[in-house]
Chain A
Amino acid sequence: MGGLLLVVIMKKIIAAAIAFGILILVAIYFSSSISSFLIKNQTPTDYRPTHCNQDGCIIPEVFSKLPKYPEDFKIDSVTLENETYFKQPEFYPTFEQNIFYYVNPPTDYLGFYGYGAFPSEGTYTRGQNQEVITPFLIYSSWYVIKYQGLKLNVAMDDSIKDYFDVTIDPDVVLLEPTFPVFENNWTQLVKMRVKIKNPPAGRYSIGVTVSPAPGNYSDLWYQKYGPKYTSGGFISLSQPIYKVTLNIQ
């Protein structure tokens, strides 16, 4: 009698456990579906944090031409190639320390020219006859009001030129202004492709330098943007804007 009762109780427990499990799975399924439905059918929420200093906060209009700030914003090798992330100024480590340009900009000077690269270096280990595709972002510096046409050039020592085939895509870019608001194309993804031929094992460096955009590009952009456009060139950096180090095994 006691054994029979135990079996009945056990069966009820099992039934309850199964029912509970099914209930949980159904709840998960529907909550996920509802979430997906909501996400797909509503305007994305802008999760951008407020940026303030002792003088005030950046007004939302400054970011109005950018993609919505994603809820899961993060900086990593995946988001580096996703414009929803990399077009956010917050993606760049130096933005926060320069928010004064947008909170309380200088009243006597304006930025006319300037660019940057993030990251500005990469390191890879590869073997013979392999390939490296290294992405980086080239962007208009904070507080720059001009459209800038830039040519990206491969820079490497003559002694290693036979060891690598290097291409940059794109190698001509138009960077849009970052002031008074961030234009949508203020930053652009660039990929450097290095085909390794037959170098001796060792460490090699290949850089990217910047020069004015070629005349046909500049002419076109000047026609479109007039004096808001510049191709710069009279002031430059002595070092590459981006450098990849290859450890060849």
Chain B
Amino acid sequence: MDKLLIITLILAILVMSSVAFAEFATTKVFFNIPQVTSFAIAMPDTYAGAQNFSITATTLASANSTDFVSFNATAPASWVQPSAAGSFTRNQSGNATPIFQIMNLGNVNITINMTLNDSGTFALQGLNVSVNATTTGGNLACGNKLPGGAVGANETARNLTNSSFTTLIFNLTPTATAACKVNVTMWGFINSGVTPGEYAGNLITNSSKT
């Protein structure tokens, strides 16, 4: 009888102790496939300059909240290079300084589209899309394919139509290093009758300096 009592007490203590410690139990549930889809677009600038925090729309007569890229000319002009809106020192400079760099910051391949809704006084005259992977030995490092199946090749004179999307890059692989980016270079054609500050659509503003 005494032995039974002892065993019972010991068991009771053990059980109560386990209950007391139960609050420290943890349960882990993991996602099977933690897929992330993400991209970012960068433009010429530097945080040290911080121009982006002081941009005002006043330099573009009717620029609005979507001003982002401007093709500026005081007279009809061809092969006009864009600049970041409101700061004409932040220009594209040919293929050396493209107006956009696109990065795949997720962990799945993505396809990037672009659209332009111009106002009739502006046309995109040229569009180059290439891949910068200088530190990894070449374009193949990014694993992307341009429309038509070419890998890492430049393109010229792509047509962007109003209000419809054109594919820039197929199956862009994740940007594993800072060096692996998609470069987008654009040239605009501004015909006669351009109105200063005329809004061209979406993030692209067609304007003369005011």
A153 to chain B: closest CB distance in Å? Answer: 14
User: CB distance A232 to B203 under 8 Å?
Assistant: yes
B65 to chain A: closest CB distance in Å? Answer: 4
Q: Enumerate chain B residues within 8 angstroms of A20, measured Cβ to Cβ.
A: 13
How many B residues touch the partner, as a band?
35 or more
What 0/1 readout, one digit per residue, does chain B (116-160) give for beta carbons within 8 Å of chain A? 100000000000000000000000000000000000000000000
The A interface is mostly helix, strand or loop, or mixed, namely mixed
Cα-based distance from A10 to B6 in the complex (angstroms): 8
User: CB distance A111 to B6 under 8 Å?
Assistant: no
A34 to chain B: closest CB distance in Å? Answer: 14
User: CB distance A141 to B20 under 8 Å?
Assistant: no
A28 to chain B: closest CB distance in Å? Answer: 4
Q: Is residue A67 within 8 Å, beta carbon to beta carbon, of the partner chain? A: no
Q: Enumerate chain B residues within 8 angstroms of A14, measured Cβ to Cβ.
A: 2, 5-6, 9
Q: Is residue B110 within 8 Å, beta carbon to beta carbon, of the partner chain? A: yes
A140 to chain B: closest CB distance in Å? Answer: 9
Q: Enumerate chain B residues within 8 angstroms of A221, measured Cβ to Cβ.
A: 65
Q: Is residue B61 within 8 Å, beta carbon to beta carbon, of the partner chain? A: no
Q: Is residue A186 within 8 Å, beta carbon to beta carbon, of the partner chain? A: no
Q: Enumerate chain B residues within 8 angstroms of A29, measured Cβ to Cβ.
A: 20
Cα-based distance from A58 to B116 in the complex (angstroms): 38
Q: Enumerate chain A residues within 8 angstroms of B9, measured Cβ to Cβ.
A: 14, 17-18, 21
Cα-based distance from A208 to B112 in the complex (angstroms): 16
User: CB distance A117 to B40 under 8 Å?
Assistant: no
Q: Enumerate chain B residues within 8 angstroms of A37, measured Cβ to Cβ.
A: none
A-B contact count (CB 8 A): 212
Given A17-B9, A25-B16, A234-B203, A228–B176 Cβ distance below 8 Å? no
A192 to chain B: closest CB distance in Å? Answer: 15
Within 8 A of A (CB), among B28-64: 28-31, 33-48, 52-53, 55-57, 64
Cα-based distance from A239 to B165 in the complex (angstroms): 13
Q: Which of B13, B37, B42 contacts A110 (CB 8 A)?
A: B42
Q: Which of B12, B30, B113, B178 contacts A237 (CB 8 A)?
A: B113
Given A107-B46, A109-B43, A142-B40, A98–B68 Cβ distance below 8 Å? no
Interchain Cβ contacts under 8 Å between A and B, 13 examples = A14-B9, A25-B16, A77-B31, A94-B36, A113-B68, A116-B105, A118-B36, A145-B52, A227-B57, A228-B53, A235-B100, A236-B115, A237-B110
Beyond known contacts A116-B39, A145-B52: 17 more, CB 8 A cutoff: A24-B13, A25-B17, A76-B28, A93-B34, A112-B84, A118-B34, A121-B35, A141-B38, A143-B40, A212-B202, A233-B202, A234-B202, A235-B112, A235-B203, A236-B112, A236-B113, A239-B110
Interface residue ranges, B against A (CB under 8 Å): 2, 5-6, 9-10, 12-13, 16-17, 20-21, 23, 26, 28-31, 33-48, 52-53, 55-57, 64-68, 84-86, 97, 100-103, 105-108, 110-116, 165, 167-168, 174, 176, 178, 201-204
